[in-house]
Amino acid sequence: MRVLVVEDEPKIAKSIKRGLEAETFSVDIVEDGDSGLSYGRSPEYDVIVLDWMLPGSMDGQAVCMALRAEGVTTPILMLTAKAEVDSKVKGLSSGADDYLAKPFAFDELVARLYALLRRPRDFLGNTFSAGKLVLDPVSKDVFYDKDKIDITAKEFALLEYLLRNKDKVVNKDELINHVWSDDDDVLPNTVEVYIGYLRNKIDKKYNADIIQTKRGFGYIIQS
């Protein structure tokens, strides 16, 4: 899942980025309201963490209102030092989906982000599944018929995105946009390479047919 963090305090921004990447999120950071609006318009982001107090021509509340006015429906978590009830009401009224006051526990931030991510029709409890394959986005574990699979963070993120979009063909550009950040060195065949890694660990090892290729279109995991 790809997250846009709009935060002008470098230490906080770097801490959020480091922590979320450890959770297998891909993270992009911008430091002012104008950039937040520009980046926030992109459909590549699955969720936005938006600070209230920002430099530039607009603060976080204004950015949020502008995005909603333009029809952007990406979930937004408002992050701010303003903890008063009135401020919370203003933040949520501007179109934010959730509100977290500073200082905050990082585990709570992660929990709130997962809660904001749109859940597909077949999401049950805390796991995603396809046949005997089960992925737990919280524990970061992947099992096939109760056999735990050794998987890297990027492989996990790729598999999670495919499972979140089960029964939908996902093309390479969409996978790159949601699984890799702008800081990653992504080559034209990067997606194919990682799909190959997953197939070796799942399809070939267990004689399964979990990740399917729709030639000319992309990849799909079907129910």
The pLDDT value recorded for residue 87 is: 60
Exposed/middle/buried for 190, CB within 10 Å: 0-12, 13-18, 19+? middle
Note whether 79 and 51 are within 8 A (CB). yes
pLDDT < 50 regions, the chain: 119-124
pLDDT (0 to 100) of residue 21:
95
- Name the strand (E) or helix (H) holding 2: strand 2-6
Would you state the pLDDT for residue 49? 97
Write down the H helix ranges in the chain. 10-22, 33-40, 60-69, 85-93, 106-116, 153-164, 172-179, 190-199, 205-206
Predicted local distance difference test score (pLDDT) of residue 124? 43
Neighbours of 199 (CB within 10 A): 16
Instruction: State residue 127's pLDDT score.
Output: 77
pLDDT (0 to 100) of residue 86: 62
**pLDDT reported for residue 121:** 39
Name the token pair of 204.
Answer: 């070939």
Residue 89: per-residue pLDDT:
65
* pTM exceeding the 0.85 threshold for the entire prediction: no
